[in-house]
Structure 1
Amino acid sequence: MDSLLKLLDRSASARKALNWAELEETSIQVLRLIYKDSKIDQGTLRTTIQNYLSSIIGTGEFLTDLSSKSSAKYEEGLVKLLEFLRNRPHHFASIESTLQAAQEIVLLSLDPIPANRNKIGKHLREIARPDLSILICNQILEQTRLNYYSLTVLCGAYCDLDQFDKAIDVAELALKFSPEQGKTFPLNALVRAHTLKFKATGDIAEIENALQYGHASIDLKLDSYAANAFIAAAVASGDEREIEFAKDVLSKAEPQLRQADISALFQAYQAAQALAPEAVVVETIDESTDDAYFGVFDSLFDLVVRDEGFTPSVADARKMQERFSGDGWFLQGLSNVPCPTCEIVALHSYRKHFKRYGKDMHYWALVCDNCKTATDSIDYDKKAFSFISSDLEENFPVADLCDVCLDL
């Protein structure tokens, strides 16, 4: 068998030549080879999964030709991939969104209405087929020329192919004709397109445009997505005033993050930016990838009812109700430090893994059996929380309990 480097070179050549049969064969060989290694490179794994999925989609006729029903090869290939991964002991969060996108494509293609085809276009970008995403979006736009969602997806696909002028043109069209409540989509798309063009060309006017659109998006609706796009632009600009403003934006958009975490994130971004000015150093958070999109299985409320026999009350602040209703929570343990409110040792810590801007972190949920409340701890006195968190980490290290961290 060829070495890994030779196989990766063959894969790259096959992809460039649109030789789907060769790309499928080499992708399978790479997967078999890298899973023999005890330490798997996440970047290589994700690229290989994308290559394999791209190969079994091939020309994508079952997606672009509405009269075609020839999706059998793709479905069979997807089943084989999922079975292969299921039989391996490793689990990697880095490929979850790609596999989810691949499965969604099958389901959405069964009912090819424009709304579903828009989603297919977004998923095709996730599996590294922006070429087909562009084709599908343009087919939709032939019938609905001012579909701002299609135009926004199209902008992202053009960016994937470094066709920034086309990306900006379609996003500007989307912005012009989108309803007021939908303008955040094209605004965030324009921030990203101008930021990427600045990184590619060094044209100062591009980053100035990115920041201008970023401020407009934040003024319209401050959420994680607007914050994410603006942060990338601010870091790329190197403007200290914009970077400080971006920190404030992130603290408002993600109130569960502590100032120390935010400072550490920005230090990492700026250091990475200095080393590789053209690289994308801030992870992109797409508007269509909320936790709710994947369904709920083990919410904090479910766990507390199961473990402690009551449903905790939660203050209507910092999106705690929404966050605690999501899945993925796990019990860390009982703190030996008394609850700051009732001063009784009754404080259970629950945690949830998440990744923001390239950093692995864990949400907090502190549940008091006596107060019958749950909180993210932000309202606690900093000194009191320091004692609580230190005690929990000493007795119940979160890295030893989190399934995602254990698989990293």
Structure 2
Amino acid sequence: MKPLIKLLLTYFLAGITQLNAQVKDTLNVAVLAYEGVELLDFAGPAEVFAAASYYTNTYHFKVHIVAKEPALTSQGFLKITPNFNFDNAPKTNILVLPGGNAGKSIQDKSTQQWIQAQLKDADQVLTVCSGIYFLKKSGRLNNIPVTSHHKIIPFLKKELKPQNVLAQVKYVDAGQIVTSAGVSSGIEGALLMVSKIAGLEAANRTARYMEYAPWDISNGKIAYDLQSQAANYLTTNNTDPHFGMLDLAGHLALREGKINLAKQYFQKNVAFYPNSALAYHSLSKALLSTKKWVPPTYEDFLNVLRNQGAKTGYALYQKAKRVYPNWKLFTHKDIVVRGQNLTVNENHEEARLVFKMGLDTYPNSWLLYQQLAICLLKQKKENEAKRLIQQASKKFPNNTAIKKLVTTIKSEK
């Protein structure tokens, strides 16, 4: 079995990379850069979106820097080589307009033309600090509430309707356009966008990863009627909203004590995204007020696996499946990573239980078939591992990795 074990371990090491293939939708995040751009204004939001991809199985945020110049300098010391220029940049889903020494770029005709072209297709636009002036020139800010750096606020009050310029908030969400205050506030504006698209917990986990303790959805102002927009989806199954639309509306309803409304939003999101552990995570929070037993959130369940072991976790998993047969207790990524950590530490029986739960929950994952086979081989259960790989070959006849495993098995007979 040595060639088979060697091959399985080769794929095991590539397992984390394979997780990225599970995403549903790629969203292009275009971050504008220019000579004199403020470092944290563009790097903060870019870090948020790049990190957030790991915490959602629904979206992949593909971040790239776009600039007119082939090379530029940020704050006099950081040399930047953009990924794209205005002519070859891909379609923009999310546009980030950072501040800095932006006066020349704001007045530049080609820069304005590119921004206006992106605004036609972009779902979301984020401005940071003085980056708000990239939109002011075109009149996009005339009738919406906005914010910016505290030193810019007095000027905006003279240039726009003063009642629409809000101070002492980290961001203002006007729907398509989110304006954020100075420098580090772009991080919070980006986290708000992650909430709107991928859900509040995806943003919370991203903030925890970044050790950005100040983050809270209440630090800014949502200045459009999100609840009404979300309510439109309660009576339709025809159009899938972004995951975060109903999720964020539900969490805001929870904060207002509207538990039944929150439950409706979360249950509808489960209907739209039945394979999302994040949808069940949110629903569990709304169901806590009921007298019926509620499965733990996926974060609490992962803590059970870490602190109490896979046997305790497996018993809890079985109980959840009896009470709520379709409930997703964990994300695909989290269960794979947990199992791989156990495998690396040679705790193969615990890893076997973890991967078994994973495969029961995500039966269309060839990666979980593969990882479970590794555990079985490590436990010297070679016949069981072979049967599992043969099952995988029937289920995934065109999968290259599974084909190689089957070929190796046949060569060893």
From the two aligned structures, give the one with the greater helix fraction: 1
TM-score tier, shorter chain, comes to 0.3 to 0.5
Structure number with higher relative contact order (C-alpha < 8 Å, ≥ 6 residues apart): 2
The TM-score normalised by the length of structure 2 is: 0.33
